[in-house]
Chain A
Amino acid sequence: MPTKPIHDIAASFSRRGVLAATAGLMLGLASISGAKAADDTIKVGVLHSLSGTMAISETTLKDTILFLIDEQNKKGGVLGKKLEAVVVDPASNWPLFAEKARELITKDKVSVVFGCWTSVSRKSVLPVFKELNNILFYPVQYEGEESERNVFYTGAAPNQQAIPAVDYLMKDEKVKRWVLAGTDYVYPRTTNKILEAYLKSKGVAQEDIMINYTPFGHSDWQTIVADIKKFGSAGKKTAVVSTINGDANVPFYKELGNQGVKAKDIPVVAFSVGEEELAGIDTKPLVGHLAAWNYFESIKTPANEKFIKDWQAYTKNPKRTTNDPMEAHVIGFNMWIKAVEKVKSTDPDKVIDALPGIEAANLTGGTSKMLPNHHITKPVFIGEIKGNGQFDVVWKTPGLVAGDAWSKELDGSKDLIGDWVGKKCGNFNTKTNKCLGSGS
């Protein structure tokens, strides 16, 4: 077959073409980066998925931040400047979270970012925030075992949700047998590890604990509910501690209701089921099942009532619900405003140093405080599901509970503390008096 001689190829090789294409590309790149930040506003990044599987939870949080910024701007903004939200859509795609975080910080020059829902999205953006030294407010309850300089955790750590809930069941419901049911990912795994250790320390025997994991979006719960019924019929009072994730909850509760598992027989206490999740189910068969949160929409305080009223007015939807992570954003946002006003600057370093110790009112009548480990103090409520999809608070902690970055129940972390004020370290080993790993 005929082959083109080499000099032919050299001739057809267009040097001009290459130059033009390369130059065009470079110019294109440079011009993308050339987007200028307007100096008369303070930019606030919003990093919540608006599409994909997590949109179901995160869209509300984006709206919350927009609402808070709107309210703040009505009060005149901060430091005499208006706040401006920069909204991006990481589309429930974890690497895209990192990319968008980088874009927010480098290109849009935001002063702070509110965002993420899943742990993996937080883990994904973490290196970016550390590298580019910016601030992330993370509003969702999570498995703990983390304290980073650039992240402020306004959701619950396990000791602010799981442990009080188990305490309540043990004391008030006299529960002796435990089913720990969860979706197979890190939060349920860690939470169940912590709970298992905690229950054993309270004298619960191994055979009285059943642990079960299911895949994401599991929809056929027949076998598991039957197993729970069977486990619960061993003669001791049984309860289910559910760390089942979002979407799988609806079929789970439907199956519970249909198989006649009543709350008064086997109560289920959930850590991931809030007002939004219940919106998708008929809650009448579920009355009496429990959830543990740091906030419920039904809590009657003036602050909460005003917040709900303003929120519903802002979203022009009189039925729009509120939930725990929203409150976490409210607290986090107010703390950031206070810290910025305190140091009169939005410089991340200054704000990070100013934040521990800042107090902000929460919506349930108390005042939350940012701790040196970058977690906050929160009250813990146990709510019973009511027929109207809301919760009735049946128990609350006497005071506020301080969030532990490192669980005292786990071998690996029982000696660790996070202290960004005194020790300047997120994982300080109190036994060896050393700051571990990269935190040094």
Chain B
Amino acid sequence: MKDELKPRIVKGPDGIEFEVDPLRDYYCEASPSVHPPVYVKIVEDFFNWARSESLWILGFGTGCGAIEMRPLMTPRFDAYRFGVQWRPTPRQANLLMISGYLSTKTLKRAIRSYEQMQSPKYVVGLGSCTINGGMYWDSYNTIKKLDEYLPVDLYIVGCMPRPEALLQGFEDLKQIIRAGKAEGANQYAEKFEWYKANQKKVIHDWDMPDYNW
């Protein structure tokens, strides 16, 4: 565990000393909860339509697939016209693109990023390596099945998928969301223990709270 995360006595600017336990004091540890749909179907459908048409992606390139997002952000493919845009912080994003393999080191950051995002939120796995390890199937440092660690709503196949395939993926994700089937975030809340166990199995230095939103 890093030094700054260990409990310690801190002297404030006013000269008073107090105890700080960063993991307890700096984060909220309440686990996630399931968001049920609203009672009226037409309202829920409207919500889903609205959600589907504003996919805000967290600008976190976890692997090589990130390079094909650049063309999407620029005029040639221009994903913005489809309601897709990239945001610099998880707080503003509802779609996490896992752009390829995740090393265990990045997995930890990806989990934290995901948990900081607002529900309803979606995860898309990009490329073979999120499905079954891809070409890093025998690597000691990358996870093989993304859905063991994060709830995945859609996979786009390719190594790496082209921008056009990504656009198709966004369209398909919109369909899923509109149909009310993009239940990844709720699934994560429901099977929270299971996901945590899987995550902790591969992240050996777990120096963060179990849920950090």
Is this pair of chains taken from one and the same complex?
Answer: no
Q: Which residues of A contact B (CB under 8 A)?
A: none
Q: Which residues of B contact A (CB under 8 A)?
A: none
